[in-house]
């Protein structure tokens, strides 16, 4: 719902707790290492 409202206002990007809770330092390290395996930037959502 929040994303749709922001898109209606012209926002093309979003971040924050509305999309996913914060990662611990250990989770962030694992996430970044896995995301960069194929050379792509990390864009997948966690849930």
pLDDT value for 7? 93
Domain range summary for the chain, segments of one domain joined by +: 2-35
DSSP the chain: -HHHHHHHTT-----STTTSPPPPHHHHHHHHHHHTTTS--------
1-47 pLDDT, tens per residue? 888 998 999 998 888 887 788 999 999 988 888 877 666 665 555 55
pLDDT value for 46? 53
Q: What pTM was estimated for this model as a whole?
A: 0.47
pLDDT value for 43? 58
């Amino acid at each position: 719902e929040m994303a749709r409202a922001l898109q209606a206002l012209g926002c093309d990007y979003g971040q924050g707790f509305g999309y996913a809770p914060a990662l611990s330092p250990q989770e962030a390290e694992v996430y970044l290492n896995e995301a960069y395996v194929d050379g792509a930037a990390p864009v997948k959502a966690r849930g």
